[in-house]
Amino acid sequence: MPLWKIAWRSIQHRSLASGLTAFSMGLGVALVVAVIVIYGVLNQTFMRSAQGYDMVIGPPKGSPLEVVLGAVFYSGYLSDTIPYDYFRQLETGPYSPEVETAIPIALGDHIFGMPIIATTPKFFTELRYLDRYSYSFRNGKNMDAGGDFEAVLGYAAAQKAKLHLGDRFKATISKHVPSKEFPEPDMFTVVGILDPTGTPNDQAFFVNLEGFFIMNDHADRTAIDKVLTRKSIDRGVNEETTSPDGTASNGNEQKNGNEQKNEPKIIKRADHRISAILVLTKIKEIAPTIIKDSRGMDEVRIDRLTAQKLDPITMSLGDRLVADLDVQVAKPTYEITRLFEMIVGRIQTVLIIFAIMVIIVAAIGMMVSIYNSMNERRQEIAIMRALGAKRGTVMSIILLESILLSLGGGLIGMVIGHGLIAGVGPIIAQAVMVVVNPWHFQLAELILIPGLILLASLVGYLPAVVAYRTDVAQSLNP
């Protein structure tokens, strides 16, 4: 009979004690698995999602990390807003020669537990997710430039909200103005549903920025006929309008009839504000500018006063924006790397240390259990020796028993760990807009197998030595 079968029969003979021992070890393994998988998925998703943009321009209040988490990952609100005119300066103004793409976004409130992001149709045509993939639509199409109240839904958002093409939903405006529901004219219509991207965009509601501005005007002025611009212009309202090519005109200006029908016109009031601007630059900066803080530590944040002291000739685009405008510039990849190295990574280390301690305690319990059973098994071992089994064979059986218990505990821990991930996955998705599924697997989990075998060999060594030294003649006596 193979040695592993003899060891397995011994485990079956003490099924209750063996089961509890394996389960206690499985709990420690489950915690290690959960920590490794959750950290790995978060790290991969955050890093890959952050690679889609060279810089994010946000309000001066708060920290660069807050700007990145709010504008890229839609986790929380930004502490302030910036003028819409800053986007114009990047798109067609003095900074445009160095800018490949600039996309404005305005963060709204949540609907169905998911964030509302106001942006332009160029978000889905000019940007790439995970740094290289183009957006595609599972159903429908992109928003039109003149589709004030059109919306595009992320794949997961459409599934959770149970919305389809043509469905309409009410939205709420940004937290910077009083939150309220809007009447029927301000309902957005779903015109497109994205394919899954594996980014926080899967769980977002994207609405047309023009409709977002109309809602803000509606909230501030309460007169919807003042912001439904085409009707206002036709009635001769003397307000500045902006066409898609960025040129301004007066509401009373004479226009060709066909152009007036086909070319959308939107009122761009000076008080319009947005949350942030996503920027792709033509010249890629290798690293952000580093300065020293008061404690001598490296600090990436450049305030306006510091930027104004830099040499204008050698200043990067980000430094010039900070010096000239009341903004801060965040580098998503740098901020996320620093977040995981300085905060999340340390938390992971602490949790893994606690999990390893649980495994060690369970291993010691397994050693004690096998050692205590040796007194009951002296006659069994003596009979094996009398039948011709060598000392090394008996020792191998005890070590195999310890290894089988450890691997069984490891298997139980894998199942419990991934089940734990299934339980906390929705909580993580709601908190940081990252989906962690129970079938996510990290290569680091494979390290547990040789680790458990090594640990089992160590804790099984003492009982194996006891079995090795068993005196046959003395043990056979009644």
For residues 57 and 413, give the distance between their C-alpha atoms in angstroms, rounded to a whole number. Answer: 45
297 CB-near residues (< 8 Å, 6+ apart)? none
Sign for the CA dihedral angle at 256, 262, 267, 273 comes to negative
Which candidate, 470, 454, 473, 477, places its Cα nearest to that of 373? 470
Report the amino acid identity of residue 434. Answer: V
Q: b vs e for 244-260, b when ≥16 Cβ sit within 10 Å of the residue's Cβ?
A: eeeeeeebeeeeeeeee
Please give the pLDDT value at position 154. 94
Task: Using a pLDDT cut of 70, give the percent of the chain over it.
Answer: 73
Of residues 380, 379, 365, 384, the one with CA closest to residue 475: 379
Inter-residue contact 275 to 176 (CB < 8 Å): no
CA-based torsion, 319, 320, 321, 326: positive or negative: positive
Structure tokens at 174: 């940004």
Mean pLDDT, consecutive 10-residue segments, the chain of 478 residues?
75 81 87 88 78 87 88 83 92 90 89 88 90 89 88 92 90 46 63 90 91 67 39 40 42 42 45 90 59 44 51 69 87 85 81 84 82 71 69 79 87 91 82 77 83 84 72 58
